[in-house]
Every structure is written in structure tokens, then in C-alpha cells.
A and B are shown apart, each in its own frame.
Chain A
Amino acid sequence: MRSFCSLLALAVAATVAATVAATVAAAEPAPGPLRIVTTTQDLAALAREIGGDRIAVEALAKGYQDPHFVEPKPSFILLVNRADLLIAVGRELELGWLPSLIAQARNARIQPGARGYLDASLNVKILEIPTGQITRAMGDVHPLGNPHYWLDPANGRLIAQAIRDRLSELAPNDRAYFKQRYADFDARLAAAEKRWDATMAPYKGTKIVTYHRSWPNLMSRWNLDVIGYVEPKPGIPPSPSHTLQLIAEMKRQGVRLIVVEPYFDLKTPRSIASQTGGTVLVLAPSVGGVKEVTDYLQLFEYNIAQLSRALDTTR
């Protein structure tokens, strides 16, 4: 028994020592480029367009992960603790994991409301904002609107503006640099948008189905008509009766394309496709969602190429 007691004492002593060492080790922010942490890779890509080599950017959620659910890791706490600016998608997209991370990271600079916290959704065009009184009986309504707004390049431009303004505020000496980089991004985006609009023009009004409500901004930008969802309600896995209704509706309206996010199971979409003679298409909802997509413009290059090819074959 004595040896157990001494072991126990040793363990307790080790813990106390670790805690004391930890409190002493609190570090001051080092000078250097602005440290920016974003919740998603889309925001990181946009920040990179504006900040160039004057900032260091890290994204928490990877593009192939569902941004609603992110398992926090120790490195996340350190990143947020040292950040000069935290850029979030907002609209409750990160509600499940970001608030506790912010609380845990103990960084006064990036608390919501501080200059180091940027909610990227504040000046963009948000779809599906419910009007009138919201009750729980309405179920599937997201009270602040659909949070997948970055999938319209017009919104990307607005997010880039917000980032430019905030960076200029945090690093006033680089104001001209950020301004010039924004102008460059804006020009490239505008040129690309013309091409994308031309590619998508022939498919105007085509009806499609998507898995989750991730795509309203992308689809409404190019006038595709989403007539239904594989999920009966956001976040709820497909149910038999809903799936049967959806199949009947797709047959009735002649819908043959099902767009799916990379993190959902393809079983139900495939069985719906086989019964309706349709095709399942996995698109990239975010930068990093597929390997080829490494920046914001490529996100649309990829999705538009995939979408137009699939729409050609399902006509």
C-alpha cells in the first residue's frame, strides 16, 4: 500500500508542476505579419487574396469537412489564442464548436464585438431569411438565413471588401497594398464571372435536387431551380416516405440531377438516381473540398465545369 501512496503522491506532484509551468509560460504576441485564423478555407482563400504576404492565414475546418461539425483539437486553441483576427462565416454555421473554442482560447483581441473578430456575413446577400415570427413548429428554418452564402461570387467580392477594410484598420501602414490587391482580385473575379455566366446561360431554369441546403446562392446566381432536397429537413437523415415523395416529384417534373456535398453518404442519392434515371454529382461546397480547388476562383471554375458537364448529359 505504501508504494501506491508514493506513486499517487508522485502523480499529484507532476500535475501541480505542469499547471505551475503552464501559468508561467503565457507568451506575448510576437511582431511579424498579422496572424489571421478563419473558420473555413473559403475565408482563408479570400483573406490570402487581399492580405498577400503581409498576413499569415490558417483555416480551422478543412474544405472536405462539414463546417457544422468540427472536432476541436489542441492546435485550434493555440491558433485562436495567437490570432490578431478571427474571421467566421457566422449565421450560426459554427454554433456547435466556435463559441466554446473562443471562450477557451482566452484572447481578448478576437472576442465577438472586438476589432479582431470579423463576421463575414454582415454585408453579404443572405438567402432564405425567414420573415415574420419564427416558431419551432416551422422546424427547418434557420433563423439567421442560409449560412452557405460564399457560393455566389458576388458575395465573395463583398466578403473580400470586408476583409480589405478590416485589414486596413488593423494594419493601417499596408492600406495601399490591401487596396491594390483587392482591385486586382476584383478584376480577375469580374473577368471570370463573365465566362461563368456565359457557360451557365444555356441551362437557365433547369430543375435539380440537392442533398443539404448548401447551394441556394450558387444555384440562384445561375438560375437553376432547386425543387427539393434529399434530406427531409436540414440535419435530418433521409426518411423512407420523404425519399419516395422526392422520387415521385422528380419523375413528375423530369428532374435528373442530384447535387451532393462530399461529406454525405451517397447511398440514398444513388438509389434515387437509379429510380429516376438521373445522375449524382458531388460538387465542392468549399475551397479544399476537392484537391484541385485551392483558391476562391478555382472553387467556381471546378463547380461550373462539373455542373455544366452533368447538365449536358442529363438533358
Chain B
Amino acid sequence: MDLHILQFLAAPAVASLVIAGIHAYLGLHVVERGVIFVDLSLAQIASLGATIAAVVPALGGDPNSRGVYWMSLGFTLIGALIFSMIRGHRANIPQEAIIGISYAVASGAVILVTSKAPGEAEHLKNMLVGNILSVQWPEVWTTGAMYLLIGAFHFVFRKRFLEISINRRAAASLGTPVRFWDFLFYASFGFVVTRSVAIAGVLLVFCYLIVPSVGGILFSNRIGPRLAIGWVMGTAVSMLGMYFSVVFDLPTGATIICTFGVVLALMAMVRPRVIAWKS
């Protein structure tokens, strides 16, 4: 392995740790709420906003403009509003159905919008979906600072957030304004996802969100240990994936994704032994 490559992988490596840090935590909520695909859905809604902003001349019409970012953020908040409204309705419609429908419709709409702006279509695809390999230091620092703020917000109100994620009905009966907290959750979540997807791409962000919390659930029933396992796993897989990507010269994001799969499978295999050893 050529050690010279390390200096170029430092920014992507730190970025992946930043993303792993917040997503392993948010993933616990997402798995607890049973809304596994909500981030794909929100990311797609965000990219619809960005696509519209990039295509419509009145909104700047430049794929790099700030308007694109704000537009995608605005769409994410609308998505967050929708998701916080649907929970608690009595009709027998599973939340996952609404999330799936939002994803499909947002994806379709992106294709329709790009088909009206063909000259840019090929570039748009690359600009909205990030590549972890090309992330730069300033982006890493601002993202890290933002996630730190959101993490602190979640830490301060951790009781509320956990309460509505784990047992919403009980929280509601105690007088907690659950819709409001649901909206805060999805809004902060959507904010993080929009930013992460712009850096690392949809698939990789999905893995950072779901796989560590599933890994944690394999070995513990309590939130604390699950989070610790998730963080260690996210960190280890990021580093291992980057190592494989360099050694075998493979696209970095896709390599990390597959490493997540392999590591989770290995963890599932050793689980019976760990459980036996514990008891």
C-alpha cells in the first residue's frame, strides 16, 4: 500500500467519522420508531428541492448556488412536517407505506424535472449525490460543527426524544406535545441527512444510519451499550472500508457499504457465542 495516499484520505476519513457519530445515534431512534427508510425518503425529497432550484432559472438556475441548498433544506422540512403528521392517525395505514410513497413520488418528480433541463441532467446527478472521496476540509469542519450543535440539542432533550421514539402513546397520555417533538426530531434528522447525502451519497448515509444500530441491537437491549457498539462499529467499518478501497483500488463509498454488510454478517455469526459467554 502506498502510504502517500493517506494524506488525501484524511479529510474523507474524518468526514466519515463525523457522519458515523451522529447517524449511529439517530439510527437508534429510526430503528426504534420502525421508520427504516425515512432517510432515503427525506434525502429524495431534498434532492427534488435541489433539482428544482438548479433547473428553474428564476431560482438561480445554477447547480452550485446557495439557493440550491436552501431549497433542498426547505423541501426536507416539508417532508419532516408530513412525517410528523402521519404518525398517530388512526387509519390502518403503516407509516412505512407513506414513507415509501413519498420516496417513489419524489424520485419520479426528480426524473420529470431533469427531463426538462437536459443539458444539465448529467451534471446534476453528480452534484446532488456526494462522493466521500472528494470531500474537502472546510466542508468537514462546518459539518462537524453543525452536527455537534444538533447532537447537543438532542443530548439536552434526550429524555423527550427517547420517550416519543420508544413509547409514544405513554408520552402522549402524560401530556407531552408529541406532534411538536416529532416534528423537531424529523426536522433535525432531515437537516443532518440532507447534509450527509451531499457529502457521502444516499446509499452510504443509509448504511451509517441503520447498520450500526442493528449491530447494537444484536448484542444489547439498552440504549447506552447499543450506541457504544454502533459508534465502534461505524468507526471500525469506515477505516476498514477505506483501507480496502485503497488496497484493491475500488470506489470508496461502495467499498464502505459492502464492508458494512460483511461486518454485520460476521457480528451476527459470533452473536450466539457472545450471548452464551455472557450468561
Contacts of A96-150 to chain B: CB distance below 8 A: 96-97, 100-101, 103-106, 135-136, 138-143
Q: How far is the CA of A176 from the CA of B17 in the complex (A)?
A: 53
Q: How far is the CA of A15 from the CA of B21 in the complex (A)?
A: 14
CB pair B228 A4 closer than 8 Å: yes
A198 within 8 A of B: no
Q: How far is the CA of A5 from the CA of B9 in the complex (A)?
A: 26
- Partner-contacting stretch, out of A20-28, A251-259, A283-291, A297-305: A20-28
Contacts of B54-98 to chain A: CB distance below 8 A: 55, 57, 61
Distance in Å: Cβ of B274 to nearest Cβ of chain A: 13
Contacts of A25 in B (CB 8 A): 3-4, 6-7
CB pair B17 A235 closer than 8 Å: no
Contacts of B1-21 to chain A: CB distance below 8 A: 2-10, 13-14, 17
CB pair A77 B8 closer than 8 Å: yes
CB pair B229 A4 closer than 8 Å: yes
Interface bracket on A: 35 or more
CB pair A139 B117 closer than 8 Å: yes
CB pair A74 B225 closer than 8 Å: no
CB pair A1 B224 closer than 8 Å: yes
CB pair B232 A7 closer than 8 Å: yes
CB pair B232 A136 closer than 8 Å: no
Query: Who on chain B is nearest to A139 by CB?
Result: B118
18 pairs across A/B with beta carbons < 8 Å?
A: A4-B225, A11-B239, A19-B13, A21-B3, A25-B7, A27-B4, A71-B251, A72-B133, A74-B133, A74-B245, A74-B252, A81-B8, A97-B126, A104-B134, A142-B119, A234-B119, A236-B115, A236-B118
Contacts of B117 in A (CB 8 A): 136, 139
Q: How far is the CA of A255 from the CA of B61 in the complex (A)?
A: 38
Distance in Å: Cβ of A266 to nearest Cβ of chain B: 20
Contacts of A1-38 to chain B: CB distance below 8 A: 1, 4-5, 7-8, 11-12, 14-15, 18-19, 21-23, 25-27
CB pair A233 B17 closer than 8 Å: no
CB pair B118 A140 closer than 8 Å: yes
Contacts of A264 in B (CB 8 A): none
Task: Give the interface SS of chain B, mostly helix, strand, loop or mixed.
Answer: helix
A188 within 8 A of B: no
Contacts of A173-203 to chain B: CB distance below 8 A: none
Contacts of B7 in A (CB 8 A): 22-23, 25-26
7 new A-B pairs (CB below 8 Å) besides A73-B133, A236-B118? Answer: A4-B229, A25-B7, A96-B122, A96-B123, A136-B61, A139-B117, A234-B118
Number of interface residues of B (CB under 8 A): 48
CB pair A1 B126 closer than 8 Å: no
Q: How far is the CA of A100 from the CA of B231 in the complex (A)?
A: 29
A75 within 8 A of B: yes
CB pair B122 A69 closer than 8 Å: yes
Query: Who on chain B is nearest to A80 by CB?
Result: B8
B98-128 Cβ-contact flags toward A at 8 Å (1 or 0): 0000000000000000111111111101110
Contacts of A170 in B (CB 8 A): none
Whether A78 touches B5, Cβ cut-off 8 Å, given contacts A73-B252, A136-B55, A139-B118, is: yes
A248 within 8 A of B: no
A227 within 8 A of B: no
A244 within 8 A of B: no
Q: How far is the CA of A51 from the CA of B145 in the complex (A)?
A: 49
CB pair B125 A78 closer than 8 Å: no
